[in-house]
Chains A and B, each alone.
Chain A
């Protein structure tokens, strides 16, 4: 366990050292933002709406017991911005983009593509790992923002149109009660989760055994370690922001 933490930390340092040269190749990074971000859009938007709809139902029911249906907007906004948005997006990201990154790099290892790069005097850390890492870290906050927007839309859809919460109250409460620190907390969490999920994906892929089973194991390990770390870091960050 400690050995793995040390190995991941060393790998992070190697990746960070390769990020400088990789930033000079923006086309590689843009392609990875597309791969990790744009290709995750459908699932993020769909899940965002559904989560918002569930909150619309559940929160309006709970709040009605205290006669506080008018707080639906602010309750949903706080839950999404501070917790659900970053955490659920990170878990979805680990399942969609993380597995894709790990298996892609693992297959490049298994098919000698990384070795071929090294023999061509090209550093795979600079050309393969760093652009994917940067792309994932940039994509995550954008995906969280989209998840939050879709979630709030889903809450409004159910809360206002189905459960009969007043639309003006819904939006004005949200506007009055939420401040930038709530948004900032979500942004910081999304950045940290982006680093965690992408780092674990590229680490597991890069160190995958060059076999079909090895790539499969790397993919599985990516999801498990990313998910656990996201929850652990969420607790730490939530405690830090209190």
Chain B
């Protein structure tokens, strides 16, 4: 009942001044649809009625301050966690209703780049990239070798095929992980904070790679990040998460032009705004002027 109410509300929304665009406004079919999702971790509610859609072939950014559940959203998309209410549809399948084998089959059509790369530390670069292929396809070794070298060439690391993950810089590790994520030619590629901890050069490389791979391979990309400038430069469409909801959606330009205080605060990176810099605490001046502990400490 609640879900149907939400759906009818979503379908009647029209683009607003903040770029509030509905699924029906999107020119390509949605590859990912999240509708009315609630999710809690213990007693803490992470999502409270999140709706978003990712259209085919696009780069969609999911942005938001730390702790707003961006990575949790990816866990919902990949079936590592399940919503307590609402639905998560990926490539036309309801993730929560899939059996284990069906979920694994769906995951084969997806790729994911983890924040730290998550390379298998006992395998070298070549074997890391070859890993999903060895697991899921019985390719002759010469064919596999050429496939892996093509993917490594795409990320500019063909010459590093024999290095171990411990010998790679953060940027290189993420590029190897990207090669591994695309080696099975996924239809959806998910990036979890791909720019965190990278120097400007590595960051620029990763930004260009995401754009180039998306265009060349026709992949649908979902980039979760709080690096507004980087992700905004390549995203076709963006969602801004805060307080368990989607507080804004639209193109980067539309978000930049938004008058919503929380959107402006996030896009401009200011400390003053609806998102407080300070964690909730008792009165600061009162805490400093309270001398009861000093008197107690002065006693012999």
Contacts and interface: CB of A to CB of B under 8 A. Distances in A.
Interface in B168-224: 180, 184
A118 interface: yes
B132 A120 contact: yes
Interface stretch (A91-99, A107-115, A171-179, A186-194): A107-115
B80 interface: yes
Nearest to A35: B122
Q: Which 4 residue pairs are nearest across A and B when measured between Cβ atoms?
A: A116-B118, A112-B118, A121-B107, A121-B104
B173 to A, nearest CB: 11
A119 B120 contact: no
Contact of A115 (B80, B119, B121, B184): B80
A212 interface: no
A177 to B, nearest CB: 47
Interface of A: 107-108, 111-113, 115-123, 127
Interface residues of B, number: 21
B112 A116 contact: yes
Interface of B: 78, 80, 104-105, 107-108, 110, 112, 114-116, 118-121, 131-132, 135-136, 180, 184
B131 A120 contact: yes
A122 B132 contact: yes
Given A111-B116, A112-B118, A113-B118, A119 B78 contact: yes
B120 A113 contact: yes
Contact of B112 (A119, A122, A127): A119
Contacts of B114: 112, 115-116
Given A111-B121, A112-B118, A121 B80 contact: no
A207 to B, nearest CB: 16
A116 B131 CA distance: 11
6 contacts: A107-B121, A118-B78, A120-B132, A121-B104, A122-B135, A123-B104
Contacts of B110: 119
Contact of B107 (A107, A111, A113, A120): A120
Contacts of B116: 111-112
Given A120-B135, A121-B105, 19 more contacts: A108-B120, A108-B121, A111-B121, A112-B115, A113-B120, A115-B80, A116-B114, A118-B80, A119-B78, A119-B107, A119-B112, A120-B108, A120-B131, A121-B108, A121-B135, A121-B136, A122-B131, A122-B132, A123-B104
A117 B80 CA distance: 12
A32 to B, nearest CB: 11
B78 to A, nearest CB: 5
B80 A119 contact: yes
A218 to B, nearest CB: 17
A127 B120 CA distance: 12
B16 to A, nearest CB: 35
Nearest to A122: B135
A115 B118 contact: yes
A59 to B, nearest CB: 44
Contacts of A123: 104
Contacts of B131: 120, 122
A101 to B, nearest CB: 13
A106 to B, nearest CB: 13
Nearest to A116: B118
- Among A111, A121, A123, the one with the most B-chain Cβ atoms within 10 Å of its Cβ is A121
A118 B110 CA distance: 11
